[in-house]
């Protein structure tokens, strides 16, 4: 009876996971299989807590939050069953650096899309350096998984046996097979961009170029659009209103292009922003003080 390992994994790899493995018995743990072949029940993640939403009633509140790492957001949920974490969450200010240890849960919609969220066991407010150390750790594991996947995909005949004969355990072989079965060949370009991005974050004074063209955001958005935006079914209107609070620093208001850029980080497309802002204007919740600038009323 081994305790579940707390995997260090970047948000991108976690969020695009769709394969769920459940034991037959009632209390048996469930896992998500990541695209690079790791079965995950528990994670340790770190990043910037950017948004906290209080949900439920005053008597029975619960919180959701977004934690940003180098390539996207982790979505965390605390409630009745995470009293300790809820307590911490209610007292946290945004933005702040946090580290979270928690269980991974998935939710699959009727149209077969899977969303991954984290139910924290422990939330700790930390310093930036703790986040940097975590990035290094997650980076190392990502690289190891990528190399492992690469070596397996070179095999002429990919079976549990052939993977084991490469020196991996049968458990690892099984996990890799699950991943290949679900996701096919991983897009190594995407992972290399995460690596480049993460390296730039922890070695800001180095000129790091792994020879990848294109900007990082472009690649992530392709993967995350449509996905991230529907996670938890966040009310997009509320999100846009929150952006206006966040970005409104002078009397002019927030430029629409800035708003679109902000929305893209959460996977909201420019078209959606336009539609939402139009709606909000119709409802007289926002107005356009200057051409191309928006403000909350």
Partner 1 sequence: MQEHDLIPHFEELKQALEGRVSDEVLLNDLRNYVFKYHTDIISAKRAVIRKYGGPNIGFVTSTDMVKKIEELTGDEQNVNITAKVTFCQNKKINSRNGEKDITSGIIGDETGQVSFTDWSGKNIQKGCTYIFKNCYCKKWNDNVQVNTGVKSSIEESPKEIENVFNVSFSSTPTETHIGEIKNDSKRVTVVGRIQSLETREIVTVNGKKIIYSGIIADSTGKIQYSAWNDFSLSIGKTYRIINAYIKSWRGIPQINMGDYTRVSEANMEIGENEVSQGNEKMIGDLIKDNGGIDVIIRGAVVGIVPKSGIIKRCSQCNRVIINDKCMMHEIAKSVPDIRTKIVVDDGTGSITAVMDRNYTEKFTGISLDSAIEFARNHGEDAVVKDIGSKLYTKRLRIRGNATMDEYGLKIKAAEISNDVIDVENEAKELLKNIERVL
Q: How far apart are CA 261 and CA 96, in angstroms?
A: 21
SS3 (DSSP) at 182: helix
Residue 79 CB neighbours (<10 A): 17
Q: How far is the CB of 283 from partner 1 (least distance, A)?
A: 43
Which residues 16-75 are close enough to bind partner 1 by CB under 8 A? 23-24, 42, 44
Residue 233 CB neighbours (<10 A): 10
Q: CB burial class (10 A; 0-12, 13-18, 19+) of residue 63?
A: buried
The residue to which tokens 């969450």 are assigned: 89
Residue 143 within binding range of partner 1, rule CB under 8 A = yes
Binding span for partner 1 by CB under 8 A among 197-205, 234-242, 257-265, 276-284: 197-205
Question: Which of 159, 215 has the CB closer to partner 1?
Answer: 159
Q: How far is the CB of 2 from partner 1 (least distance, A)?
A: 5
Q: How far is the CB of 98 from partner 1 (least distance, A)?
A: 9
Q: Which of 90, 108, 162, 171 binds partner 1 (CB under 8 A)?
A: 171
Residue 161 within binding range of partner 1, rule CB under 8 A = yes
Question: Which of 203, 257 has the CB closer to partner 1?
Answer: 203
Report helix angle 256-265 to 216-224, nearest 10: 70
Q: Which of 8, 66, 103, 262 binds partner 1 (CB under 8 A)?
A: 8
- Per-position x/- string for 84-123, each x denoting binding to partner 1 as judged by CB under 8 A, each - no binding: x--------------x-x-------------------xx-
| E strand residue ranges, 79-136 | 96-108, 114-125
Question: Which of 7, 75 has the CB closer to partner 1?
Answer: 7
Residue 151 within binding range of partner 1, rule CB under 8 A = no
Structure token digits, residue 47:
């990043």
Residue 204 CB neighbours (<10 A): 8
Report helix angle 270-282 to 236-247, nearest 10: 90
- Binning the chain into helix, strand and coil, the percentages to the nearest 5 are 40, 25, 35
Q: Which of 208, 225, 256, 281 binds partner 1 (CB under 8 A)?
A: 208
Q: Which of 20, 52, 68, 133 binds partner 1 (CB under 8 A)?
A: 133
C-alpha distances in angstroms, 243 versus 122, 162, 210, 265, 292? 28, 51, 33, 11, 16
Question: Which of 5, 215 has the CB closer to partner 1?
Answer: 5
Q: What are phi and psi of 295, to 5 degrees?
A: -145, 150
Q: How far is the CB of 199 from partner 1 (least distance, A)?
A: 6
Q: Which of 58, 93, 206, 271 binds partner 1 (CB under 8 A)?
A: 206
Contact set with partner 1 (CB under 8 A): 1-3, 5-8, 23-24, 42, 44, 84, 99, 101, 121-122, 124, 126, 129-130, 132-133, 136-137, 139-141, 143, 147, 159-161, 169-171, 174, 177, 192, 195, 199, 202-203, 206, 208, 210-211
């Amino acid at each position: 009876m081994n305790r579940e390992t707390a995997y260090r994994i970047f948000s991108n790899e976690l969020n695009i996971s769709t394969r769920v493995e459940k034991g037959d018995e009632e209390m048996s743990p469930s896992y998500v299989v990541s695209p690079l072949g790791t079965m995950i029940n528990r994670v340790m993640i770190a990043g910037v807590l950017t948004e906290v939403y209080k949900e439920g009633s005053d008597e029975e509140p619960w919180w959701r939050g977004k934690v940003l790492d180098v390539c996207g957001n982790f979505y965390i949920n605390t409630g009745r069953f995470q009293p300790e974490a809820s307590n911490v969450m209610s007292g946290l200010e945004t933005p702040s650096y946090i580290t979270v240890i928690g269980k991974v849960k998935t939710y699959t919609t009727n149209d077969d899309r899977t969303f991954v969220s984290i139910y924290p066991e422990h939330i700790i407010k930390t310093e930036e350096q703790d986040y940097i150390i975590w990035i290094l750790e997650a980076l190392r594991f990502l690289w190891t998984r990528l190399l492992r996947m690469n070596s397996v995909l070179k095999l002429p005949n990919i079976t549990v046996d052939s993977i084991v004969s490469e020196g991996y355990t049968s458990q690892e072989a099984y996990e890799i097979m699950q991943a290949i079965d679900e996701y096919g060949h991983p897009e190594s370009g995407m992972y290399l961009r995460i690596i480049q991005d993460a390296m730039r974050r922890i070695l800001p004074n180095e000129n790091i170029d792994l020879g990848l063209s294109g900007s990082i955001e472009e690649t992530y958005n392709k993967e995350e659009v449509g996905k991230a935006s529907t996670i938890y079914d966040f009310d997009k209107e509320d999100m846009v209103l929150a952006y206006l609070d966040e970005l409104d620093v002078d009397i002019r208001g927030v430029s629409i292009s800035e708003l679109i850029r902000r929305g893209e980080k959460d996977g909201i497309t420019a078209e959606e922003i336009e539609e939402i802002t139009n709606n909000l204007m119709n409802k007289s919740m926002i107005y356009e003080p200057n051409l191309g600038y928006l403000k909350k009323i």
